[in-house]
Amino acid sequence: MTMNLEQIALGLGIAGLACFAWPILQRVRGQIPAPPPGSSSSLRSPLWWAGFILTVAAIFLQRMASQQAAGL
């Protein structure tokens, strides 16, 4: 069984969403302390950036798959 672009894009999208959500869930659960008011720190950790890149890659692959399906 071979994987097509749609399945790869779905997998990357799920992984990207998980990378986005993990730091947020940890903060909501209280496992990571909130930064003090007025500090410049944010949730944009390396894991957040990995999620961003994976999500962009998933969108790009999904567009490629839809163009292939349309025969363009």
pLDDT of residue 60: 93
Dihedral sign (CA 24, 25, 29, 33): negative
Q: How many Å apart are CA 72 and CA 12, to the nearest integer?
A: 24
Predicted confidence band at 5 (pLDDT cuts at 50, 70, 90)? confident
Q: What is the mean pLDDT of residues 16-25?
A: 87
Domain boundaries, the chain: 5-30+43-70
Q: What is the mean pLDDT of residues 7-31?
A: 88
The pTM of the full predicted model, rounded to 2 decimals, is 0.72
Q: How many Å apart are CA 35 and CA 23, to the nearest integer?
A: 13
Percent of the chain past pLDDT 90, that is, above it, reads 24
pLDDT tens digit string along 33-45?
777 777 666 656 7
